[in-house]
Amino acid sequence: MIRKSPDPESCIRPEAAEVLSGSFLAASRLIRRIEAGDPAVLADLADLFPFTGNACVMGITGPPGAGKSTLISGLIRRFRDLGLRVGVLAIDPSSPVSGGAILGDRIRMQSHAADPGVFIRSMASRGGAGGLSRVARDVLVVLDALGLDMILLEPVGSGQSDTEIASLVHLLGVLVPPGTGDGVQTIKAGILETADIFIVNKCDLPGVPEAVADLRGMLHLRSRPGWVCETCARTGEGTGELADYILSRRTEIQSWQNRAPAIRDHFRSLVSRLALAHLEKQVADRIEAFLAVPENDRAASDNPYRLARELVEQLVRP
Ligand SMILES: Nc1nc2c(ncn2[C@@H]2O[C@H](COP(=O)(O)OP(=O)(O)O)[C@@H](O)[C@H]2O)c(=O)[nH]1
Ligand SMILES: [Mg+2]
């Protein structure tokens, strides 16, 4: 895909222009503003969006200790050898206090830290349902606009938000530990349904043929096709084949037909998020105006249930 360049005549905000020129520093600044919930950042994202659509976003999920970070490190190496620019987003949906897990990932990806073609970022969702997707979606726009070709998402938390991760990526890979029958059982049913690539990692350990057979059997039962592979992330065995398969899916993923439904979803969530923020403010203002009348204030203290309903009826009346 040919990457569009900003029209010199257009008035793109300076920070967005810096991101488009490939500045990791500007991208980090913008991401910090996204995480802090700065509403002004939406204008920058609007400037950036027309320049997105180049990156292929892949989620790499699986139980803790399955080898996700080690595998990602190997994939980065392969993609870099091919001249691609890579982003890694380690996201922790479960806990804002995830220093430990994220620190471990950082250590495993350390060798890439100084590479100007690799952008590594970790983030924790700050409470609230949908908080993770909101922040992650916006951050992905920044990474894509930065000109990264491959973006790898690693959930590091409890794995409860696997379905949330699935909605953010083009391709979903799941690491399955080898072991007679147990491996597949440790993977949640939802992921078995949605994943595109099943990676039996630690293929240096026993139980690999059994895990592969289990997965193939499971794939027979579902309607969508899936690809099964074996890797040893520790030595790099099989990582090259996996990287090549991912790249072979890239062109298909980037075609407009595939992008349109995701953009519509993004639009829906943006509109409801902006509308809700707006309504919340309006409602808060009306409540204060209502309570400013001493008589209402007294009545609300007498029976908050009755008065709350009355006020809501007034608010929703057309
Ligand atoms: N034997 C073996 N160990 C591996 C392999 N891949 C990763 N590991 C080890 O498994 C442990 C957990 O790896 P890590 O990448 O942090 O897993 P994550 O929690 O899924 O990110 C580390 O000690 C790795 O060295 C592999 O293919 N074979
Ligand atoms: Mg990890």
Closest ligand 1 atom to Cα of 154: 21
How far apart are the CA of 134 and the centre of ligand 2, in A? Answer: 22
The closest ligand to the CA of 155 turns out to be 2
Q: Is 202 in the pocket of ligand 1 (CB under 6 A)?
A: yes
Q: Tens digits of per-residue pLDDT, 18-31?
A: 999 999 999 999 99
Q: CB-hemisphere CA count at 13 Å for 158?
A: 7
Chain-wide mean pLDDT for the chain?
86
Average pLDDT over every residue of 232-251: 95
Q: Is 104 in the pocket of ligand 1 (CB under 6 A)?
A: yes
Q: Does 104 score more than 60 pLDDT? A: no
Q: Read off the pLDDT band of 167 (50, 70, 90).
A: confident
Q: Residue 141 in contact with residue 31, Cβ under 8 Å?
A: no
Q: Is 219 exposed, middle or buried (0-12, 13-18, 19+ CB in 10 A)?
A: middle
Question: Which residue bears the tokens 């913008």?
Answer: 30
Q: Is 73 in the pocket of ligand 1 (CB under 6 A)?
A: no
Q: Is 188 in the pocket of ligand 1 (CB under 6 A)?
A: no
Please report, rounded to a whole number, the percentage of residues in the chain having pLDDT higher than 70. 85
**Interhelix angle for 99-108 vs 68-81, to 10°?**
40
Q: Residue 144 in contact with residue 173, Cβ under 8 Å?
A: no
| Separation between Cα atoms, residue 276 and residue 259, nearest integer Å | 26
Tell me which residue of 247, 212, 254 sits closest to 230, measured CA to CA.
Answer: 212
Kindly provide the b/e burial profile for residues 178-203, where b requires at least 16 CB atoms within 10 angstroms of the residue's own CB.
Answer: bbeeebbeebbeebbebbbbbbbbbb
Confidence (pLDDT) at 164: 76
How far apart are the CA of 15 and the centre of ligand 2, in A? Answer: 31
Confidence (pLDDT) at 31: 93
Q: Is 134 exposed, middle or buried (0-12, 13-18, 19+ CB in 10 A)?
A: middle
Sign of CA dihedral 31, 265, 69, 114: negative
The closest ligand to the CA of 205 turns out to be 1
Average pLDDT over every residue of 96-102: 49
Q: Tens digits of per-residue pLDDT, 117-145?
A: 999 998 875 544 446 777 889 999 999 99
Quickly count: other Cβ atoms within 10 Å of residue 229's Cβ.
Answer: 18
Confidence (pLDDT) at 182: 64
Q: Does 231 score more than 90 pLDDT? A: yes
The closest ligand to the CA of 175 turns out to be 1
HEC-encoded secondary structure of 198-235: EEECCCCCCCHHHHHHHHHHHHHHCCCCCEEEECECCC
Confidence (pLDDT) at 125: 58
| Separation between Cα atoms, residue 70 and residue 112, nearest integer Å | 12
Q: Is 233 in the pocket of ligand 1 (CB under 6 A)?
A: yes
Average pLDDT over every residue of 78-88: 96
Window from 87-101, 137-151, 178-192, 193-207 with minimum mean pLDDT:
87-101
Closest ligand 1 atom to Cα of 175: 20
108, 174, 234, best to mutate for ligand 1 pocket (most atoms within 8 Å of CB): 234
pTM of the model: 0.85
The closest ligand to the CA of 66 turns out to be 1
Confidence (pLDDT) at 126: 56
Q: Is 106 in the pocket of ligand 1 (CB under 6 A)?
A: no
Confidence (pLDDT) at 67: 93
Q: What residue's CA is closest to ligand 1, atom 2?
A: 202
Average pLDDT over every residue of 156-184: 77
* Residues facing residue 89 across a β-bridge: 121, 153
How far apart are the CA of 65 and the centre of ligand 1, in A? Answer: 6
Q: Is 232 in the pocket of ligand 1 (CB under 6 A)?
A: yes
Window from 119-123, 161-165, 222-226, 257-261 with minimum mean pLDDT:
161-165
Q: Does 318 score more than 90 pLDDT? A: no
Query: 128: alpha, beta or left, given left = phi > 0 and alpha = psi -120 to 50?
Result: left
How far apart are the CA of 144 and the centre of ligand 2, in A? Answer: 22
Kindly provide the b/e burial profile for residues 241-278, where b requires at least 16 CB atoms within 10 angstroms of the residue's own CB.
Answer: ebbeebbebbeebeeeeeeeeeeeebeeeeeeeeeeee
Q: Is 69 in the pocket of ligand 1 (CB under 6 A)?
A: yes
The closest ligand to the CA of 63 turns out to be 1
- Position with higher pLDDT, 114 vs 184: 114
Confidence (pLDDT) at 48: 97
Q: Tens digits of per-residue pLDDT, 18-77?
A: 999 999 999 999 999 998 888 899 999 999 999 999 999 999 998 888 999 999 999 999
Q: What residue's CA is closest to ligand 1, atom 14?
A: 67
- Position with higher pLDDT, 131 vs 195: 195
Tell me which residue of 173, 165, 180, 189 sits closest to 228, measured CA to CA.
Answer: 173
Quickly count: other Cβ atoms within 10 Å of residue 216's Cβ.
Answer: 12
Question: Which residue bears the tokens 């910090």?
Answer: 32
